[in-house]
A and B are shown apart, each in its own frame.
Chain A
Amino acid sequence: MHEALVSALDPLGIDFEMVFVNDGSRDRTLEIAVGIAQSDPRVRVVNFRRNYGQTPAMAAGIEAARGDIIVTMDGDLQNDPRDIPLFLEKMDEGYDIVVGWRHNRQDKMVSRKIPSRIANRLIAKATGVNIRDNGCSLKAYRAQLIKRIPLYSEMHRFIPAVANIAGPRIAEIKVRHHARKFGQSKYGLSRVYKVLLDLMVIKTVASFTSRPLLWFSMLALPLAGIATVALVWSLLDFLTNGGQLSLPVAGSGVIFMTSAFIFICAGALGELAYKLGDLREAEFSALTQRLGLRSRPRSTPAAEPEKNMGNPR
């Protein structure tokens, strides 16, 4: 792994470092990685005491990384380090995020490819970030941007979508993909539910964080509409029927009205939460904004491949 990376990056004549993240694997991964670090000062190893999962591993690696450009990839060599120079070229062209697209995937059709295709279609539609392969871990980011993006839980599939709150310029390039040689794959169809919920969260949270009151009010509006119809209807009914109030209809009206009211309260709480938090849109726009058009050719980019050597159990 290390050798493949070095041979891919050395000819570029750039300054790079590697960050290995050991996600609590109990085999000899850590020893090997530390051994490499001892012989190569450009390598650093971040060790987790237990298995946290891919997103925390990535977040830790990104935090430890010190380069201007951060390249992430898996530790099992399913991606090819020889593709990294292509990513750097794209970054030089001024893109903030470059994602890989495994256009000839070496995986099983039914259990991996089809669900992944559907998921990617969904993600693209929901988040408005049109990427054909969210699951490919070979990606390159501008460090200043990715370091400020909140990453938690199982967000690693959606990093470009989350990063979209900063409005980055995203490019997609084809990458080589190898069949799995090391480790076992843990993914299956069971994660669909989680992916769907995560998707919903990202969609709503990322697009409405800064104005929750407005958003909750929008939710409340149809409810209030139903409530008004029900209440007006029962009032008319009451007047025409001579004192016979329809309890279910009037009751429903009251319930919906209350709910609309509570939604607006929830929106107010959301505003409070946002105010106390530390995410600001202005900050994100500052990360990607550029003065003048195409005025920043990068002279010596420092690349930083960082990989996640988790043991997928």
Chain B
Amino acid sequence: MSDHFEHADISAIIPIGGRSGDLTTLFREYRRALESLGGRCEFILVLDGPRPRAEEQIETLLQQGEKLTVIELTRSFGESTALTAGFQRASAPVIVTLPSYDQVDATEITKLVRALDKSDMAVAHRWPRAGGAWESARRRVFHRTIGRVTGQTFRDLGCGVRAFKRRVLEEIALYGDQHRFLPVLAARQGFRVVEVDLRQSSRDRFEGTYKPRDYMRRALDIFSIFFLVRFTKRPLRFFGMVGATTFGLGVAVLALLVVERLFLDQPLASRPALLLASLLVVLGLQVFALGLLGELIIFTHARELKDYQVDRIYEFPQKQAASVEPQLVATTDARDA
């Protein structure tokens, strides 16, 4: 079916990282599911660094005559970069990302794509979910915190099965560990994101336990998304708060010491609290200065960093205004028109 890539209706991107299952069966399942929707599919496999086992499996797939695009990254860049590499190749108006190991029952993916009729992005929520009480509690805490921080509540950000329209990606740049938060970022850009319950694959098993390092990473994830959504445009809001508190504390201690020196005859020079006070004062000033520096960077770049996205400009009669604002007129899409 997928003989002509230029006319694909769905682009499926499979980033292959450290964890990958049996790609041959997985790929067939995916393909069967997506082609049952009736359109043409193109498959893009992105190898994030050298993965000998996965390469072998892809080799057999290619020998069996499967049509797919394989992108090999020279080293492991991380999933966000792998996805971006895939996106750049994708030609279809609808893009589906799929994990390289079993997460959901492949036949259920059609549900996700159908959900795009009424939304811009559909993300999978593995339900009912395997795993013990501890696991689900941990998961719940993570997603609750994210929800509190960003104002967008999702229940399964760890699931890589997502379907979205092309324009979602055109407005969001992914880097670092942000692929996990793509639904959050999309919702913040004003796209309609829905969660769809999909049956979890019976082969979705995580062997081993989470190490403290993994918890650490999750905590950092939360911190980074917190910073990303709340303070990237206003560094001083954050740094200023921290800096002012520290500075105030330091000044208070210092004042106390001075008062004691002047009126209670306590010697100033021999008190270790003096060290603490001056450290706090200096730290507060430094943090504040960092915030100002951030503001300076934002201010001098503000004309490039637009903090809004125009959905569409309505103009009648619809003459070619391209000479004036080509980039704005170009993003027209038949939405709520």
Task: Report A's interface with B, CB cutoff 8 A.
Answer: 24, 30, 33-34, 37-38, 41, 43-50, 52, 56-57, 59-60, 63-64, 66, 148, 150-153, 194, 197, 200-201, 204-206, 209, 212, 216, 219, 223, 234, 237, 246-249, 251-252, 255-256, 258-259, 262-263, 266, 269-270, 273-274, 276-279
Contacts and interface: CB of A to CB of B under 8 A. Distances in A.
Contact of A152 (B189, B290, B296, B307): B307
A289 B129 CA distance: 67
Contacts, number: 160
Contacts of A247: 272, 275
A248 B274 contact: yes
Contacts of B316: 37-38, 41, 43
A194 B240 CA distance: 11
Given A59-B308, A197-B237, A219-B289, A205 B274 contact: no
B256 interface: no
Contacts of B278: 251-252, 255-256
Contacts of B180: none
Contact of B299 (A45, A47, A209, A259): A209
Nearest to B314: A45
26 contacts: A24-B190, A37-B315, A38-B316, A46-B310, A49-B191, A49-B309, A52-B307, A64-B325, A151-B302, A197-B234, A197-B236, A200-B236, A200-B240, A205-B299, A219-B285, A237-B269, A246-B269, A248-B275, A251-B278, A252-B277, A255-B278, A266-B289, A269-B293, A270-B293, A279-B299, A279-B300
A38 B337 CA distance: 12
A47 B312 contact: yes
B8 to A, nearest CB: 26
Contact of B300 (A46, A200, A274): A274
A201 B300 contact: no
Interface in B256-298: 268-275, 277-279, 282, 285-286, 289-290, 292-293, 295-298
Q: Size class of B's contact patch?
A: 35 or more
Given A52-B308, A194-B237, A248-B270, A152 B298 contact: yes
Contacts of B314: 33-34, 37, 44-47
Nearest to B290: A266
Contact of B190 (A49, A59, A204): A49
Contacts of A38: 316
Contacts of A64: 310, 313, 325, 328
A60 B190 contact: no
B289 A223 contact: no
Contacts of A57: 308
A221 to B, nearest CB: 13
Interface in B177-230: 188-191
A50 B233 contact: no
Interface of B: 188-191, 233-234, 236-237, 240, 268-275, 277-279, 282, 285-286, 289-290, 292-293, 295-317, 324-325, 328, 336-337
A27 to B, nearest CB: 13
Contacts of B269: 234, 237, 246, 248-249
Given A49-B191, A259-B282, A259-B285, A209 B312 contact: no
A153 B234 contact: yes
Contacts of A266: 286, 289-290, 293
A85 B296 CA distance: 38
A41 B317 contact: yes
A56 B300 CA distance: 17
B190 A48 contact: yes
A256 B293 CA distance: 20
B317 A278 contact: no
Contacts of B300: 209, 273-274, 276-279
Nearest to A204: B292
B285 A223 contact: yes
Contacts of B306: 59
Contact of B310 (A60, A153, A197, A269): A60
Top 9 A-B residue pairs of the complex, sorted by shortest distance between their CB atoms: A277-B300, A49-B190, A50-B190, A150-B302, A56-B308, A252-B278, A45-B314, A248-B274, A259-B282
Contact of A50 (B189, B268, B272, B312): B189
B190 A30 contact: no
Contacts of A246: 269-270
Given A37-B315, A249-B269, A270-B296, A259 B286 contact: yes
